[in-house]
Structure 1
């Protein structure tokens, strides 16, 4: 039996924390399926456009050897549908989301992985925007 793992994220300004999450998620199964937030969804949930376009972020994630397939996540409230459509056995999210996706335990195992310490896309963007950085 093939074990399918699914995860979701924006994956903007791709960094080692993203790599760590995807590699650890991939080790939990045979296939890793990644939902990448659409540009409109990112604007809705973060209040800003992503630095990299949806197409670029999809290409970056698809280029990872651990990733089997990528798709566009258009709506946060459709996670249950995405999990079922892709036949996922395990949903993996960072532990900053702990408890937020437990409702899906009825259709798959939900695992929260520890975030990589001292790194976040938001912090990277803030550092780059600071005048003294230039």
Structure 2
């Protein structure tokens, strides 16, 4: 996409593991706030480092699912640990996050670092009742033998 066309480019990164309505809501809200939405699907190895576990669904499959969401204009395999390094590759104008990051030390640091390069950080409501963590727990419960 040409950066000279005045389009507002947004970036929404996530594991997008066990894709659920919270993921869809993030992408829907993000697309409403930009002209071109890039969805960053975080690599398995990066998730293992940052979250302490690998995803259930491998990167290539998660990216394939996300690429078919109508709100997404482009999918990026996020293989770098530092979001600012990803920005250097993609040059987006706004970075979208779930509001579970708002007011946290990590979120505040992210905001400071992005502000230095002119990127706005926008938070959207976190879907509390549905998450990949909750889905993992439900699957584990189903796999336990009956007593």
> Is TM more than 0.5 here?
yes
Q: Using structure 1 for the length normalisation, give the TM-score.
A: 0.91
2:116 equivalent among 89, 106, 110: 106
1:124 equivalent among 110, 118, 135: 135
Q: Using structure 2 for the length normalisation, give the TM-score.
A: 0.84
Q: Is the 8 A contact 2:80 2:86 kept in 1?
A: no
Structure 1: give runs of 5+ residues left out of the alignment: none
Report 1:1-134 matches (<5 A).
1-77=6-82, 79-99=83-103, 100=107, 101-103=110-112, 104-107=114-117, 108-130=119-141, 131=144
Structure 1 residue ranges, 4+ long, deviating more than 3 angstroms after superposition: none
Q: How many aligned residue pairs are there?
A: 132
Q: C-alpha displacement at 1:132, in angstroms?
A: 7.0
Q: C-alpha displacement at 1:22, in angstroms?
A: 0.4
Structure 2: give runs of 5+ residues left out of the alignment: 1-5
Structure 2 CA distance for aligned equivalents of residues 111 and 44 of structure 1: 25
Between structure 1 and structure 2, the one with the greater Rg is 2
